């Protein structure tokens, strides 16, 4: 087989994780091939056009970016790849509305530690001390996570001792849930509900979400600011494409991989849908484990540990997104001044989560108005509005090809009615374009089970800190094959997927150096 295609490493999937893995490998002088089923990179990190508008598909905000002295791990990583991106920082942390009749709130929360504490105190007089304590925990966790990252999450020897002493509070607080801890530090209920507004970014309600993870993420947004890029997330994906090629990597689009060639617990390469076989010393999959192990290899080769972990884990919530282009500005609608707003029926996120278990009860919404951060993102006199909802149920159950469009129409009408009622505005008379992405859209586009793009819901035994500790050795079950992406050790999200790609590529290099 002298003309057989062979690469040092094949990366399957050009989502955020795959792009980062391929960049890291190319940077480290490996002959790398990135294979992507679509004709463009990014997976969720993409945009699409309808009429005279270009819509952002997913990105509301990225954490751990920052710049200058606030630069975080993700900024440093993306800069190290040489990505050319027009980053845009925001001054808004989040906006949150609770329509609860008993104790409603409607707040704009700014970035900046002091400004955030001031705004909290204004919204809930008397909460300042507890908010400052929360932010101080966030700072401590951020330092701890940075410190762990400087050891690639594997401090050994004396450093391990330091972890036990210097970071003992961090370790102690990993298993404590966010609700419990915020009550312990004396935060009033209303302040707690406001601070917990970001909960669905972690995909689990605050009474079952690690305090350490939540405080770390929230502090990162408040201290480093949330970031997006000027030309939609597709700009980041294209910048990766350019950087990978510049560093000598190959990228093949329109190249869906059919199967992973795993024999006797070793991965030898991949086969494309068109039958092309590509052998490799190592393979990295940027595809959900449920798809890799469930559909893309000989079932006899699926390791017991992976079967067990897939069964034990709870797949993240499927997503539904409705995108509108309106022929008026946000200002004309009275919606200006706010970029990302959570509008909820109640401030209690356990109830919000329970509401997400059916189409009928789920009335919570996250609304993003891109023009508020990028004024020229749509033609003059127009604006882009995006509604995002995560469900804790299979909303596509019973939907057939015949009634799919009716189903989408109904969801759109319900979304419009709900929003118009909540915000007392008229949007239906101003719709120029509307697009709906159901869980089926996401399932088809990125190939994830049930259209979930949030990996696995974190649990006490399976949160970020537990996962990073097992990501190098314990979860490496098939030789010469590793998995990266939003389902990985760092949890879901853009930043986390980029870090996951680097992490798994680095482990691959270590394995290869040892001849494993």
Chain positions contacting ligand FAD, by CB under 6 A: 12-18, 35-38, 43-45, 58-62, 256-257, 286-287, 319, 321, 388, 442, 446-448, 453, 485-486, 492-495, 497
Q: Is 210 helix (H, G, I), strand (E, B) or coil?
A: strand
Q: How far is the CB of 41 from ligand FAD (least distance, A)?
A: 7
> How far are the Cα atoms of 183, 220, 396, 440 from residue 137, in angstroms, in the given order?
14, 12, 40, 39
- Per the listing, tokens 């008026």 go with 328
Q: What is the rounded distance in angstroms from the CA atom of residue 58 to the CA atom of residue 342?
A: 16
* Distance from C-alpha of 422 to C-alpha of 435, rounded to nearest angstrom: 21
What is d(CA 403, CA 408) in angstroms, rounded to the nearest whole number?
9
Q: Buried (b) or exposed (e) across 366-384, using 16+ Cβ within 10 A? A: bbbbbbbbbeebbeeebbb
CB atoms within 10 A of CB 168: 11
Q: What is the spatial distance between Cα 282 and Cα 271, in angstroms, rounded to a whole number?
A: 14
What's the closest the beta carbon of residue 46 comes to ligand FAD, in angstroms? 8
CA 48 to chain centre: 19
Distance in angstroms (rounded) separating the CA atoms of residues 171 and 344? 33
CB of 117 or CB of 481, closer to ligand FAD: 481
Residue 12 C-beta: closest distance to ligand FAD, Å: 5
Output the CA–CA distances (angstroms, integers) from residue 427 to 324, 329, 331, 410, in the order listed.
9, 11, 13, 16
Nearer to ligand FAD, 321 or 346 (CB): 321
β-strand partners of 228: 88
Q: Coil, strand or helix: which one is 7?
A: strand
State the nearest-atom distance from the C-beta of 482 to ligand FAD, in Å: 13
Closest CB to ligand FAD among residues 247, 370: 370
Cβ proximity to ligand FAD: between 124 and 270 the closer is 270
Residue with Cβ nearer ligand FAD (138 or 488): 488
388 vs 1: CA distance, rounded Å:
50
Give the Å distances, CA to CA, from 130 to 114, 182, 250, 462: 13, 8, 52, 28
Q: Which residues contact 333 (CB under 8 A, 6 or more apart)?
A: 326, 383, 425, 426, 427, 430
Closest CA to 361 of 388, 395, 409, 385: 395
Shortest distance (Å) from residue 322 CB to ligand FAD: 10
How far CA 279 is from CA of 6, 33, 55, 117, 268, in Å, comes to: 5, 11, 38, 55, 6
55 or 141: whose CB is closer to ligand FAD? 55
Judged by beta carbon, residue 36 or residue 193, the one nearer ligand FAD is 36
For ligand FAD, which is the closer residue by CB, 329 or 504? 504
Closest approach, Cβ 320 to ligand FAD, in A, equals 8
Nearer to ligand FAD, 373 or 446 (CB): 446
State in angstroms the smallest separation of the CB of 375 from ligand FAD: 19
Unique residue bearing structure tokens 């996120």 = 349
CB 197, min distance to ligand FAD, A: 14
With respect to ligand FAD, which residue has the nearer C-beta, 56 or 179? Answer: 56
Least CB distance from residue 274 to ligand FAD, whole Å? 12
Q: How far is the CB of 472 from ligand FAD (least distance, A)?
A: 19
Considering beta carbons, is residue 37 or 408 the nearer one to ligand FAD?
Answer: 37
Residues in the chain: 516
> Minimal distance in Å, beta carbon 497 to ligand FAD?
4
């Amino acid at each position: 087989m002298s003309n057989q295609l062979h690469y040092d490493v094949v990366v399957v999937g050009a989502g955020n994780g795959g792009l980062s893995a391929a960049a890291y490998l190319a940077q480290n002088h490996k002959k790398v091939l990135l294979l992507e089923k679509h004709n463009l990179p990014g997976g969720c990190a993409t945009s699409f056009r309808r009429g005279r508008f270009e819509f952002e598909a997913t990105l509301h905000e990225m954490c751990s970016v920052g710049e200058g002295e606030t630069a975080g791990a993700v900024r440093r990583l993306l800069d190290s790849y040489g990505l050319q991106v027009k980053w845009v920082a925001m001054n808004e942390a989040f906006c949150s509305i609770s329509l609860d009749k008993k104790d409603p709130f409607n707040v704009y929360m700014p970035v900046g530690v002091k400004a955030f504490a001031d705004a909290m105190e204004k919204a809930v007089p008397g909460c300042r001390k507890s908010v400052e304590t929360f932010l101080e925990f966030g700072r401590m966790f951020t330092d701890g996570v940075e410190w762990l990252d400087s050891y690639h999450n594997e401090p050994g020897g004396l450093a391990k001792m330091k972890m036990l002493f210097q970071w003992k509070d961090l370790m102690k607080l990993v298993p404590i849930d966010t609700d419990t801890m915020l009550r312990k530090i004396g935060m009033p209920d209303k302040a707690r509900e406001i601070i917990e507004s970001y909960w669905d970014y972690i995909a689990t309600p605050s009474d079952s979400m690690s305090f350490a993870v939540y405080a770390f993420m929230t502090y990162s947004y408040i201290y480093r600011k949330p970031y997006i890029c000027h030309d939609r997330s597709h700009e980041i994906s294209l910048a990766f494409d350019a950087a990978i090629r510049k560093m000598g990597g190959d990228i093949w689009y329109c190249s869906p991989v059919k199967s992973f060639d795993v024999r006797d617990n070793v991965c030898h390469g991949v086969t494309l849908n068109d039958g092309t076989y590509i052998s490799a010393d190592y393979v990295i999959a940027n595809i959900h484990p449920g798809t890799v192990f469930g559909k893309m290899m000989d079932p006899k080769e699926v390791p017991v540990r992976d079967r067990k972990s897939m069964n034990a884990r709870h797949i993240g919530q499927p997503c539904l997104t409705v995108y509108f282009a309106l022929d008026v500005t946000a200002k004309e609608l009275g919606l200006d001044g706010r970029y990302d707003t959570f509008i909820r029926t109640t401030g209690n996120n356990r109830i919000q989560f329970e509401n997400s278990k059916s189409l009928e009860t789920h009335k919570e919404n996250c609304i993003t108005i891109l023009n508020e951060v990028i004024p020229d993102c749509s033609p003059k006199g127009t604006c882009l509005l995006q509604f995002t909802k995560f469900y804790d149920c299979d909303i596509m159950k019973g939907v057939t090809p015949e009634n799919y469009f009716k189903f989408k129409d109904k969801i759109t009408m319900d979304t419009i009615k709900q929003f118009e009622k909540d915000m007392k505005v008229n949007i239906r008379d101003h719709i120029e374009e509307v697009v709906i992405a159901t869980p089926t859209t996401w399932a088809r586009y990125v190939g994830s089970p049930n259209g979930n793009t949030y990996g696995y819901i974190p649990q006490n035994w399976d949160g970020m800190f537990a996962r990073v500790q097992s990501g190098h050795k314990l979860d490496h079950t098939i030789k010469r094959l590793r998995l990266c992406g939003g389902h990985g050790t760092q949890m879901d999200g853009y930043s986390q997927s980029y870090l996951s790609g680097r992490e798994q590529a680095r482990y691959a290099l270590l394995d290869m150096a040892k001849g494993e």
